[in-house]
C-alpha cells in the first residue's frame, strides 16, 4: 500500500510538473496566436475587420455645438464693457457617416483616400432647432482688420453702409454653416466670397487627401499618416511643429504601450498633437486605456519649449508667454482664428478674465481617447475644441474704438464624440476580448493547477521519505 501511494505521488508530481510546463509554454504560444490574429485583422486591406471599420465608421459620430450668446453687446461697443456670455446648446449633428472616397492601394503598403464632409442635424439630441437666434460675434467685422489692415478707413465705411456692427443676431444654422454677409456683399465685385460662417464651407467638401500606412509588413506603422495633402509637413509651421505625426486618432498601431504617448493629427486644429495615459476603464465589458490631452500640449514655450515653433506674428499673447491658445490663422487663409480647449481650460487667467461666463472644468471640457490596447482601436472618444476670433481696439473703426482689450473671443465650442454601440461591443468581445480571456484563463489554470499538484505531491513525498528514514 505504501509503495502504491508513493507511485501515485510521483505520478502526481510528474503530471503537475507537466501541466505547469504546459501552462508556461502556452504563454508565449498564446501571445503568438494573438499577435498572428491581430496581424491578419488589424492590417488595412480589403477583407480584414480593420478595413471594414476604416472605410466607414462602425459607430455613429456626432458633433455637439455650444454657441456663446452675448447679452450686453451694446455696452461692449459703446462703453467698453466686459462681454457677458451664456452658452446655448448642445446643437447636435451626425458627421463622418459617409464612406471614405478615392481609396487607392499603393505598392509601398500605403493607402490614399479623402474623407467627405457632411453634417445632418439631430433634433432629438439638441436643445432647440437650427432656427434658434443667437447674439454672436460678427465674423466679417471682427476679421476685417486682420484681413484688410491697409484699408481700415474703407472697412469702417463698409461697416456703416451695410448697417453692420461688432455683434449680430444669427440663426444657429447660419452661424455654423454659412450666410451671405451684408458687409462683404459691398465688395463682391472684387471677387471675394460673400458667404461666411464658422464652418463654411463644409457640406460637399472633403478632408484630405490622406496617405496612411496599411500595417502590412510592419504592424507598428498601422494607420500612421505618411502624407497629408501630398506632404509629410505642414507649410504654416516651422521646425518640429510642421511634422505630421501619428494617426487620425480613429485607431493606432496594435499593442498600445500605456507608458508612451499617442500621437495624432487633426486638420481641425492644423497640427499634430498627443495624448498621455490617464488610467484604465471598462467600456461595455471591454478593458480600455484612457489617454487625455495634457495641459502642456497647449502650454506656453516657457513651460513646454517644444511649443516655441507654434508662436506666430503678430504675437498677441505677451510674446508667447501665455498658455492655452493656438493661432491657426496661417492655416485659415489669414482669418484671425484661434483654437483653445472649451471655456479656455488650461489657458492663462488673462484670457478667461476678458469675458464673463466661462467656467472651465476637466470633466466637461477635456479631450480624451479610450483605446483598446491589443488592437489599437479607439472605441470611445471626445474631441473638445473652442473656436475663437481675435480682434483688438482701433480708432479707425468706430465699433472697435471703445474696446479696452485685445480679445481672443469665444464664438463656440464643440464636442465631437463617438462610442462603440452595444451590437459592435458584443461583436468585439466575441471576436477579440473573449478568446483572449479564455486563452489567458487556460494558461493561468494550467500553470496554477500544475504548480499546486507538483508542490503538494513533492512535499508529501519528502515528508514520507523523512518519516521512513527516522
CA-wise closest residue to 358 among 294, 296, 408, 298: 408
CA distance 303 to 309: 13
pLDDT at 443: 56
> For residue range 27-74, what is the model confidence (pLDDT) as tens digits?
555 556 666 666 677 889 888 878 888 999 889 999 999 999 999 999
Q: Does the structure show a pLDDT above 70 at 339?
A: yes
pLDDT at 19: 46
Ramachandran quadrant class, 229 (left: phi over 0; alpha: psi -120 to 50; beta: rest): left
Cα end-to-end distance, the chain, whole Å: 19
> Of 12-16, 51-55, 252-256, 344-348, where does mean pLDDT reach its minimum?
12-16
> For residue range 228-246, what is the model confidence (pLDDT) as tens digits?
999 999 999 988 899 999 9
Q: Does the structure show a pLDDT above 90 at 436?
A: no
Q: Does the structure show a pLDDT above 60 at 15?
A: no
| Cα atoms found within 13 Å of the Cα of residue 142, Cβ hemisphere only | 26
Contacts of 195 (CB under 8 A, 6+ apart): 178, 179, 180, 181, 201
CA-wise closest residue to 338 among 348, 347, 327, 346: 327
- Measure the CA angle with vertex 271, ends 325 and 211; round to 5°: 165
- The percent of residues in the chain predicted with pLDDT above 70, rounded, is 82
Task: Report helix angle 139-147 to 152-161, nearest 10.
Answer: 160
Query: Would you place residue 403 in the very low, low, confident or very high pLDDT band (cuts 50, 70, 90)?
Result: very high
- Buried-exposed string 283-292: b where 16+ CB fall within 10 A, e elsewhere: bbebebbbbb
> Of 79-93, 290-304, 437-451, where does mean pLDDT reach its minimum?
437-451
> Of 160-174, 260-274, 318-332, 423-437, where does mean pLDDT reach its minimum?
423-437
The SS3 call for residue 148 is coil
Q: Where are the beta strands (DSSP E) in 245-310?
A: 262-266, 271-283, 286-292
* Top-ranked range on mean pLDDT: pick from 24-28, 128-132, 347-351: 128-132
CB atoms within 10 A of CB 99: 13
Q: Where are the beta strands (DSSP E) in 141-283?
A: 167-171, 179-180, 195-196, 206-213, 225-228, 262-266, 271-283
pLDDT at 187: 80
State the cell numbers at 45: 486591406
Q: Does the structure show a pLDDT above 80 at 313?
A: no
> For residue range 202-237, what is the model confidence (pLDDT) as tens digits?
999 999 899 999 999 898 999 999 999 999 999 999
Helix (H) or strand (E) holding 92: strand 85-95
pLDDT at 312: 74
CA distance 22 to 330: 61
pLDDT at 4: 63
pLDDT at 451: 58
User: Domain boundaries in the chain?
Assistant: 2-37+439-469, 60-97+119-203+233-420
> Of 186-200, 240-254, 338-352, 383-397, where does mean pLDDT reach its minimum?
186-200
Q: Where are the beta strands (DSSP E) in 217-363?
A: 225-228, 262-266, 271-283, 286-292, 325-327, 337-340
- Based on C-alpha coordinates, what's the Rg of the chain? 29
Global confidence as pTM? 0.86
Q: Does the structure show a pLDDT above 70 at 461?
A: no
Amino acid at each position: 500500500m505504501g509503495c502504491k501511494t508513493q507511485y501515485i505521488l510521483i505520478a502526481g508530481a510528474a503530471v503537475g510538473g507537466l501541466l505547469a510546463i504546459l501552462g508556461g509554454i502556452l504563454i508565449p504560444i498564446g501571445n503568438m496566436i494573438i499577435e498572428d490574429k491581430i496581424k491578419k485583422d488589424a492590417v488595412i486591406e480589403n477583407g480584414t475587420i480593420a478595413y471594414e471599420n476604416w472605410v466607414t465608421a462602425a459607430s455613429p459620430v456626432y458633433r455637439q455645438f455650444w454657441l456663446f450668446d452675448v447679452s450686453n453687446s451694446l455696452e461692449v461697443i459703446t462703453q467698453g464693457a466686459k462681454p457677458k456670455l451664456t452658452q446655448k446648446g448642445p446643437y447636435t449633428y451626425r458627421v463622418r457617416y459617409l464612406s471614405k472616397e478615392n481609396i487607392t492601394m499603393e505598392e509601398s503598403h500605403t493607402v490614399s483616400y479623402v474623407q467627405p464632409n457632411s453634417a445632418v442635424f439631430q433634433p432629438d439630441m439638441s436643445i432647440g432647432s437650427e432656427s434658434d437666434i443667437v447674439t454672436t460675434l460678427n465674423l466679417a467685422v471682427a476679421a476685417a482688420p486682420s484681413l484688410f489692415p491697409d484699408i481700415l478707413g474703407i472697412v469702417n465705411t463698409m461697416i456703416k453702409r451695410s448697417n453692420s456692427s461688432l455683434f449680430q443676431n444669427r440663426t444657429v444654422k447660419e452661424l455654423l454653416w454659412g450666410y451671405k454677409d451684408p458687409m462683404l456683399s459691398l465688395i463682391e465685385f472684387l471677387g471675394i466670397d460673400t458667404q461666411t460662417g464658422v464652418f463654411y464651407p463644409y457640406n460637399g467638401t472633403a478632408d484630405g487627401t490622406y496617405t496612411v500606412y496599411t500595417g502590412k509588413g510592419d504592424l507598428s506603422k498601422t494607420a500612421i499618416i505618411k502624407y497629408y495633402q501630398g506632404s509629410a509637413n505642414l507649410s504654416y509651421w516651422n521646425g518640429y511643429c510642421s511634422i505630421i505625426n501619428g494617426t487620425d486618432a480613429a485607431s493606432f498601431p496594435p499593442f498600445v504601450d500605456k507608458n508612451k504617448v499617442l500621437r495624432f493629427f487633426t486638420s481641425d486644429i492644423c497640427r499634430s498633437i498627443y495624448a498621455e495615459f490617464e488610467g484604465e476603464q471598462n467600456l461595455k465589458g471591454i478593458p480600455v486605456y484612457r489617454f487625455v490631452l495634457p495641459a502642456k500640449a497647449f502650454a506656453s514655450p516657457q513651460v513646454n519649449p517644444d511649443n516655441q515653433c507654434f508662436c506666430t506674428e503678430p504675437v498677441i499673447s505677451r510674446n508667447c508667454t501665455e498658455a492655452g491658445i493656438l493661432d491657426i490663422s496661417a492655416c485659415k487663409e489669414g482669418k484671425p482664428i484661434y483654437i483653445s480647449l472649451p471655456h479656455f481650460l488650461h489657458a492663462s487667467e488673462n484670457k478667461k478674465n476678458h469675458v464673463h461666463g466661462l467656467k472651465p472644468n476637466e470633466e466637461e471640457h477635456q479631450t480624451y481617447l479610450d483605446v483598446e490596447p491589443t488592437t489599437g482601436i479607439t472605441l470611445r472618444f471626445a474631441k473638445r475644441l473652442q473656436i475663437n476670433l481675435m480682434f483688438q481696439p482701433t480708432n479707425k473703426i468706430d465699433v472697435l474704438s471703445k474696446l479696452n482689450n485685445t480679445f481672443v473671443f469665444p464664438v463656440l465650442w464643440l464636442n465631437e464624440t463617438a462610442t462603440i454601440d452595444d451590437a459592435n461591443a458584443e461583436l468585439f468581445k466575441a471576436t477579440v476580448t473573449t478568446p483572449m480571456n479564455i486563452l489567458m484563463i487556460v494558461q493561468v489554470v494550467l500553470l496554477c493547477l500544475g504548480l499546486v499538484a507538483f508542490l503538494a505531491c513533492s512535499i508529501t513525498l519528502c515528508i514520507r521519505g523523512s518519516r521512513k528514514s527516522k
